[in-house]
Amino acid sequence: MSFVSRSLAAISEFSASLPQADLFAALGLFSLVVLSALLLFLAIRFAFKISHSWHQLASLRAMRIDDTPGLKIMVARMDGTQGMSLRKNVLHALEHFLPEFNFGAPFYLGSFPVKFEVSDIALSGAEIHRLQDIFKKSNADLIVWGEARGRVDETTLCFATPRPSDKTKGIEFFPVTFKGSASSWGEKDYRALAYVAGRRLRPSLGKPADFRAERLQPIVRSMEKLLESESVLTGRSKTELEDDFAAGALHIGEQLKDIEWLEKSVDFRQRSLESLQQGEQPLRWAQAKIDLGRALMHQCEYRFEPIKLQDAMKHLREGIDSTKNDAHMRLTETGIAALQQAETMLANRRRFSIRWNV
């Protein structure tokens, strides 16, 4: 009995120590409020995710089914403290300046509220697969995204295009760093972005011989405006702009027999050769030499000057000799020589009517 008595006494003592009934009610009400708030937060978060997913799907579908003639451009999320300014700049540049580098052709410009990895070197494998999937679902020809942070006086923009052979296999990634803050962009920045986008959409702009000179002339004039302004492009994009303008000016001068464009080609190539080093960029140096020689030669067609023609021949020889020393050119020459030898062998066999397996 003593054990039972002690147990009952302990239970009675514990019961007496419990809070009053009104405290239990307050704790219950507080727990209910917290649980309701948590459930409401989770519901709002879930609804936001669903809405965001639907928005993404709607953006992809709208681009895929749109029947606007021309190319399709998707502007994705712009990160950083100046992301909103950068986004406005990108949309404005594409809408108002891209026609300068797109032959005035119409295009579809759409927004896609999704974040991509920002890199100035290369993308991860997972991000490449994401882009491939989006290209496939949207039929986009170009996706643009980037980052602009206030503490860094630079803006990084990323451009991705599907490979021309197959939109579902591989992408072409092109990062560009713009000098200056995104909140202080002007016409030169808009035109520079439009040029980079146009070059991604039309890689053939780097091969002016593919176009009629009359059709190419307005684009090369826009390139000239970019070169005349304080450059905001750096690295590969700046190199592309310089090479595209030089090749375009020479092509227009040759085809239209325009002395002014030939003079522009000569002046630009002479200036570029002052900064180009043969040992550092042998192919670009050789191209500049050959272009300069061609431009000087064509000038002599309209006003013959023996000294100028000799100068042209000197530049041409130096350019040709430089390409012979390049490993890629030597490999090509070796392959061509072997192919010619095989063709000669085949021709000789056929000449003597000897049947053999080829």
Residue-wise pLDDT for 290-331, tens only, equals 899 889 988 888 888 888 888 888 888 888 887 776 666 665
Burial of 164 (0-12, 13-18, 19+ CB in 10 A): exposed
Residue 103: DSSP 8-state: T
Instruction: Judge contact between 296 and 312, C-beta under 8 A.
Output: yes
pLDDT in tens, 118-166: 988 888 888 999 899 889 888 889 999 999 876 667 889 999 999 765 5
Render the burial of 203-221: b for 16+ CB within 10 Å, e for the rest: eebeebeebebeebbebbe
Classify domain 69-202 by CATH number: 3.40.50
Average pLDDT over residues 95-122: 89
Task: Tell me: pLDDT of 168 over 60.
Answer: no
Question: For the chain, what is the mean pLDDT?
Answer: 80
pTM to 2 decimal places:
0.75
CA torsion 239-240-246-252 (nearest 10°) is -170
In order of 200, 296, 307, 340, the CA distances from 158 in angstroms are: 11, 39, 48, 44
What would the DSSP string read from start to end of 306-327?
HHHHHHHHHHHHHHHHHHHTSH
The tokens for 285 are 């140096």
pLDDT score, position 101: 95
Looking at residue 45, its pLDDT comes to 67
Which of residues 17 and 100 earns the better pLDDT score? 100
Q: What Å distances lie between residue 300 and 10, 21, 295, CA to CA? A: 117, 108, 9
Residues 171/162, Cβ–Cβ less than 8 Å: yes
Residue 144, SS3? Answer: strand
Q: Which one-letter DSSP state was computed for residue 162?
A: E
Mean pLDDT of 220-246: 89
Q: How confident is the model at residue 283 (pLDDT cuts 50, 70, 90)?
A: confident
